[in-house]
Chains A and B, each alone.
Chain A
């Protein structure tokens, strides 16, 4: 039997039901991994008691022969964007320091109902704004990966779900929740060699998830492989009357229908994703991916998504606009921190509280959002961006006339060193060039680890599917996974 810490969701499930080990042993194994992983700074709060309590419930249920939940006995990491009852939740911001939700987010509640336990709350980019986990108010997450040059440069785990990416790739948690607004599940998954899935907008409830850009925010799983993502998404997703954009649809049994035979499927290759300055290794991996999907029975077709280059600028109007509105709630009155200078009135208190509580990138985005929504600029910026968004969405609709899925790289580079891009917001934004268009269109998309670059760092390929067609995204992901045979994991140095 392999080490418990190497197992993912399906491996733990099979071991538990086969009597190879108990849920308590699983929880204790990963709790030990968590406490040994402090140098990575991946956890903001550790909750070993939660994981142990869920394990004991799981062991009793198994002993009693009860019907088991999909996540029974699996201790997971929880991105700190999800409100967890009684457990401090800050979205890695200073302004929410000390905030202890009195309620449970729907996604975390669904996972716990399915039998999962929680190892702790995971560090991330502050309010999910960032692509390197460097905007957290509580320090960078260090990627478990290192370059093979013998140096020990600290690398970015990607972002915003950087803590989630670090713990799954470091085998510190078998799986973790992520959220994706413009690529925050897929880009970090690619950076650390794990699988990350963003479902169709509306599959997972946003209730109790701290809002960044509400028309884009979607929760999804980050796990070792495609099967684990399918299992976990089944547990996370589902209609929730408390979210007005939640889809009133049954959750399919994605795991049971996994099938890597792609005969009859057409895979589109969007020519606009061949961007300038893309490393040759990523281009080569993309070609390899095309060959793998052909081998799985698919037909490859060239498609055009002509408005692709406008997706990032549209995103950087729409997302900050929504953020400036969503983050207006942090006022020093209802929750979180308050900064009340001597003799200050209400307005001064707001300004001082927000000055002290928000990080630089969050302030930058709030100000951009405020500007593009302000009188005289609204139509030129915001309305125009929403029109371009319509065109981007129509590009995908037209592509679906000739194909079922799209194959692209996930990110334009492998992981970079911490600090290498921190001074240039625009360079950082370009990380999401391949993930943002599908976010703007609300489409399901996943990143699958498929190779290593010359520095020994993981690279990922992205599959994008039609709205509500998660199944075919999973299936194509599985076809890539089987052929790539990606088994690399970081050497433990921490």
Chain B
């Protein structure tokens, strides 16, 4: 499988990364080089092999369904580039 310019632009859009036309052109061979290399995995016989889900067997823990922290609005907003009135600020979403 290989990607063309249109696919690169689609991937960039899904990744929410703006790219120029020239960058898309440059990324086509770069990504194809990497994808061509990882494609060798296709030659491994993986019949009846389960995909890895955890490297070290470890049971997922459950805890009591209770509030354990919170009440730190100002700390959470402290690093927001545009916090206002106790909320995260975003540009207008609805026209």
Contact = CB atoms under 8 A, between A and B. Distances in A.
B66 interface: no
Given A99-B79, A244-B60, A389-B52, 10 more contacts: A314-B38, A333-B90, A334-B80, A363-B17, A366-B15, A371-B7, A374-B11, A425-B34, A440-B55, A442-B56
A200 B58 CA distance: 12
A367 B81 contact: no
Given A201-B55, A313-B41, A354-B18, A102 B78 contact: yes
Contacts of B41: 310, 313-314, 317, 381, 384-385, 388
Interface residues of B, number: 53
A202 B38 CA distance: 27
Interface of A: 98-103, 200-202, 215, 241, 244-245, 247-248, 307, 309-310, 313-314, 316-317, 324, 328, 331-338, 340, 344-352, 354-355, 358, 363-364, 366-368, 370-371, 374, 377, 380-381, 383-391, 393, 425-426, 440-442, 467-468
A376 B72 CA distance: 42
A200 to B, nearest CB: 6
Interface string B23-52: 000010011011101111110101001111
23 contacts: A99-B79, A100-B78, A102-B76, A241-B61, A313-B37, A334-B80, A335-B80, A336-B79, A336-B81, A345-B93, A346-B92, A349-B91, A352-B18, A358-B17, A366-B17, A367-B11, A368-B35, A370-B14, A387-B50, A388-B44, A425-B34, A426-B37, A442-B56
A6 to B, nearest CB: 37
Contacts of A442: 55-56
Given A310-B44, A377-B1, A346 B90 contact: yes
Contacts of B50: 387, 390
Q: Could you tell me the dominant secondary structure of chain B's interface residues?
A: loop
A13 to B, nearest CB: 31
Interface of B: 1, 3, 7-8, 11-19, 27, 30-31, 33-35, 37-42, 44, 46, 49-56, 58, 60-61, 63, 72, 75-76, 78-82, 88-93
Given A345-B92, A351-B18, A374-B11, A368 B56 contact: no
A310 B8 CA distance: 25
A335 B75 CA distance: 11
B16 A351 contact: yes
Give 5 closest A-B pairs by Cβ, nearest first.
Answer: A442-B55, A386-B51, A335-B79, A338-B81, A355-B18
